[in-house]
Amino acid sequence: MRELVFFISMAAIHVSVAHARTADSLAYPVNEYNGISYEVRLVRDSAGVPEYYHAHIFTPVCDDDICKPVYIELYWDLLGSYIRYTVPPDQPFTKMDHEEFQPEEYVKLQEILADSNSLLKDYKMEELVESATKTSPGEVDAVTGATAKSLQAVVIPGALYTCYTLWHIAHGRVVDTIAKITDGLVNPPLLLHFLKSRNHRYQYFALDKVIDHQGNVEADYRQEVINLIRSPNVFLGTQVLKQLSPTYFFDEEWQNWLWETFQDGSYRLKLGVLDKLEQLPLTEAFRSRLATHKGNFNEVIAQRIEHLLNRQL
């Protein structure tokens, strides 16, 4: 019963996606490392904004010369990062001896596929299996198909081949294919969508497109880019602050904004703001604030502030 509920749930997810979104008519071929071929499609939301990629995949999974068919739907984000999978209700996954996956093993498979740094990436299939060795004529010391001990934590017992094959599809050549497709879709609405998203990889991608080598940003993106300085991702915020041209912060309004950012920001962001201030002609109002509040901070920041106040402009 638990297994049936799982498949019904997965099928319901698939149906709801099909009704809420539409796939592009264009199909992009992918030829994987092991001869598996399939087509990946871009899926857009109801407003026509690109949302993710999807592929229906059939592949045989071979275990000791016995090949079992695997039907799976795979999903990637717009930069080729694996998101999730679904399984057709009438095509459950099986392990050795045709034993069907249990619900917790489907959950485990999602964890395996979601790990882009899995140990599976560093091995060829033949290296994952201990070869049979004979200790004396007619005797076998090891069983062909026994999973290497170091990899037992990253595969499902009895489903090594399935885990290996699907991981290498999810993180295979499709990643480069998707990256090329998305790069060809870049336009102002998509870049703004990326900048406003909570996906840091999308934000870094967009920043590379909208900030030039002098730290200048086109007017259409400027506010969204500056807003990222206050991102919950402090590494992203400090990078944006470092990249932006100092000229954006010359006037009093933006120096007031920097002061608020400095006060409310993390320690790392405070240091980033101080680095940026070294490049600015400070307004009298800003200098006054620094002088008044420098005693509220630790010795390192207080010394940095003192240096700013004493420097020759």
Model pLDDT for residues 282-304, shown as the tens digit of each residue: 999 889 999 999 889 999 999 99
pTM for this model (two decimals): 0.80
- Low-confidence stretches of the chain (pLDDT beneath 50): 1-20, 131-146
Nearest to 260 by CA among 300, 293, 284: 293
Residue type, 294: K
What are the angstrom distances between the C-alpha of 67 and each of 125, 155, 280, 283?
Answer: 15, 18, 67, 73
pLDDT at position 276: 96
